[in-house]
Chain A
Amino acid sequence: MSDQPFKDWTSLWSDAQQQYWNTLQELGKKAMGQTPPPAANPWAEGFEAWSKLLQNAAPADNRDWFLKLAETNKAYLSMGEQFWKLMNAQSSGAPLSPENWWAGISEAFKNQAGSAFFGATPKDPWAAFASTFGLPSDQWQKLYAASSSYPEEFQKFLQGFMTGSPSENPYQKFLTMPALGYSRESQEQLQKLQQQWLKYGEALQGYNQVLGKITEKAFEIFGNKTRDIATGSAPSPESLRAIYNLWVDSGEEAYAEFATTPEFTKAQAGLVNALMAVKQQEQILTDGFLGQFGLPTRRELDTAHQRIHQLQRQVRSLQEAQADSGIQLLREEVAALKREIEGDKAKKKGAASAASEPKTL
């Protein structure tokens, strides 16, 4: 592909920036009550629109990189925009003290975290950090989606029933009712799958709750750092990136504090274990379907693989034993030959000494 289309895109982007500048000026005027309200997030939204256009033009091999970049940088731009708005609003009013200025920055981060633009919900505040700020639960959801054999929609449907603990959940009670009749076994297996799904949902909630605590802690640390800056006991960041890096440091600090606690390790392991339980039950059902169609099941393949593996090991063991025993035979043969040679030498020596003795009458 020639780079011409990309140069065109670049100029398109430059033009768009000019428009953003105009929009931002409008925003400034709006702060003084002189213009109609513009788009909520012109940079980030514009970037998103632009990146969607470019996705189709990007070579297939690099599309994943581009998407990752676009996702990350859209969030970064949104952060810049939030700050810009904050500062622009401040600059239009009375000058702020450093303490208030940095308090505003800290507040802007909190707003970012709760921003609907990032799909955050009060239940899952960590979701706001999906792109810019790193996200174990987001990565986990992708992993889960890729590894699950059953439709995501069904899981979402079940999540609707997630209220309180499983023991208090009316749907859980329904799932524990005894199965009856001709299809009793398959009913029971389906019930088990749904029970495992509910447990997985609960584990995911628990994990997200711990992540939420980490976010809160990160805000606290970030707030402390900004207070230090405001009071002059720490150097002031001179760029948007430096503020972002300050936030990353705060996040990692908070995460490191939690990551080794029993609360976190149990929540994380609980999530993985719950997913494995879901998948195991899915496999039992899938094997059942495959068996009905006369197709080889995972269990049968495992049996075959295990037998091949055992046979391979036996063959190797025999080969090694044979090789070892061959060496032993050779060793024995060499030793026997040595003995024979030594014997011959001794005989010859004896004969020679007898021949050299003077003959007497």
Chain B
Amino acid sequence: MLRPDQIFEEVSQFNRRIANGMITLSEVGEIEAGVSPYDVVYTEEKVRLLHYRPRVSSPGKVPLLIVYALVNRPYMTDLQEDRSTIKGLLDEGVDVYLIDWGYPDAGDRFLELDDYINGYLKRCVDFIRTQHQLPQIDILGICQGGTFSLCFASLYPERVKNLVTMVTPVDFHTPDNVLSLWARELDVDLMVDTLGNVPGELLNWSFLSLKPFRLTGQKYVDMADILEDPVKTKNFLRMEKWIFDSPSQAGEAYRQFIKWFFQENRLIQGGLEIGGKKVELSRITMPVFNIYATEDHLVPPDASIALEKYVGSKDYTPFAFKGGHIGIYVSGRAQKEIPTAVAKWLKDRSH
């Protein structure tokens, strides 16, 4: 059993860490993120297509386009020197492109999923195909970006050589999908008609509400433990910056995504049309590598695993990563496992 003097000692130590942490915080400087050098090779309105500079002398001939979610910023995939999926892929000899969707403002309120998938995404894919004089390229979709990639691969299968999906929701109605349960009761028409674009803060509130005790309390108590270490503090703050760096969501695209995917689960129930074109997972016949996280609280594993049942591909490979939705990019295990697994899988299908 605890003794009073133990408690006093522990609290005194805690106080000391906080006090010393103030020095760390005052000296920590700017919190930068994104470490791998790139060139912006194509722009369209707020969308930028980034081409990462290779880290090997002769990268693979078929480039890989990373399609990130609209919800957060894509620098999570290239957070810092020792935590970067992109750097890992470059080291493995993959030629990497990434779409940065930018920060929508009121002028983008009427952008629809059609604009994102049949517009920006298709034009980025076509740009890369033209540059490399290739009929097809590889695509890696992450989270919501994975859902977009599935739609794209269904609509334009002739342009996708291999498809990789990471922590991607496919079946939005699995019983453990808390976000989906919450979204089903929302009056999304009222929300979008009222707000126009949906602010990132509102989405953050939903994400933090998934585990409020840990994410809004315990995390900051635990932070005291690392405050005396400038490197660890900076890593913590970098992650914190990413969590709260949430772009607003273009209103119409948000309305469609919530209704068609979260509320009506059309990707697997059927009836999904993007820009008047029918999306069917059975049309995805290229090889598919589906990576999911076993501890994912945002996209439960079952929501991703469902892809196998609906996809038309005969070359389907699931990959279970032992970790969570964020750990899949930034944990030490992820650095060792994810880029290597993706690169090997692609290499095996490069001919």
Contacts and interface: CB of A to CB of B under 8 A. Distances in A.
Contact of B7 (A10, A13, A72, A80): A80
B127 interface: no
A9 interface: yes
Contact of A10 (B14, B19, B176): B19
Max count, chain A CB within 10 A of own CB: residue among B7, B119, B194, B199 = B7
B191 interface: yes
A305 B110 contact: yes
B202 A238 contact: no
Nearest to A61: B30
A273 B205 CA distance: 15
B22 interface: yes
B212 A255 contact: yes
Contact of A134 (B1, B176, B216): B216
Interface string B221-262: 101100000000000010010000000000000000000000
A259 B178 CA distance: 7
A254 B215 CA distance: 15
Interface residues of A, number: 85
A58 B26 contact: yes
Nearest to B115: A313
Given A3-B23, A58-B22, A245 B218 contact: yes
Nearest to A126: B212
A305 B109 contact: yes
B81 interface: no
A73 B214 contact: no
A240 interface: yes
Interface string A129-164: 101111110111001001100000000000000000
B18 interface: yes
Contact of A77 (B15, B186, B215, B237): B15
Contacts of A277: 190, 194
B185 interface: yes
Contacts of A252: 211, 213-214
Interface residues of B, number: 67
B19 A9 contact: yes
Interface in A80-100: 80-81, 83-84, 87-88, 91, 98
Contact of A69 (B21, B187, B201): B21
A87 B217 contact: no
A302 B1 contact: no
B212 A134 contact: yes
Interface residues of A, dominant DSSP: helix
A255 B23 contact: no
A73 B224 contact: yes
Nearest to A90: B4
Nearest to B251: A302
Interface in B152-205: 175-176, 178, 181-182, 184-187, 190-191, 193-196, 199, 201-202, 205
Nearest to A3: B23
Contact of B213 (A1, A65, A251): A251
A238 to B, nearest CB: 7
A239 B13 CA distance: 12
B185 A266 contact: yes
Contacts of B8: 21, 24, 84
A336 interface: no
B12 interface: yes
Interface in A94-136: 98, 101, 129, 131-136
Contact of A143 (B4, B15, B30, B202): B202
Contacts of A136: 205, 208-209, 212
Max count, chain A CB within 10 A of own CB: residue among B4, B178, B224 = B4
A248 B14 contact: no
Given A3-B27, A69-B223, A236-B1, A272 B191 contact: yes
Interface string A168-205: 00000000000000000000000000000000000000
Given A62-B28, A272-B186, A308-B107, 19 more contacts: A3-B23, A10-B22, A14-B19, A43-B11, A58-B22, A58-B25, A69-B21, A69-B223, A72-B220, A80-B14, A129-B217, A132-B221, A133-B213, A140-B205, A248-B218, A259-B178, A269-B185, A276-B191, A302-B196
Interface of A: 1, 3, 6-7, 9-10, 13-14, 17, 21, 24, 43, 47, 54, 58-59, 61-62, 65-66, 68-69, 72-73, 76-77, 80-81, 83-84, 87-88, 91, 98, 101, 129, 131-136, 138-140, 143, 146-147, 236-241, 243-245, 248, 251-252, 255, 259-260, 265-266, 268-270, 272-273, 276-277, 279-280, 283, 298, 301-302, 305-306, 308-310, 313, 316
27 contacts: A10-B19, A21-B8, A43-B15, A62-B25, A66-B25, A69-B224, A76-B221, A80-B14, A87-B3, A91-B4, A134-B217, A138-B216, A143-B205, A147-B199, A147-B201, A239-B6, A244-B218, A252-B214, A260-B175, A265-B182, A266-B185, A272-B191, A280-B194, A298-B196, A301-B106, A302-B109, A308-B107
Nearest first, the 5 A-B pairs at minimum CB distance are A269-B185, A134-B212, A134-B217, A134-B216, A251-B213
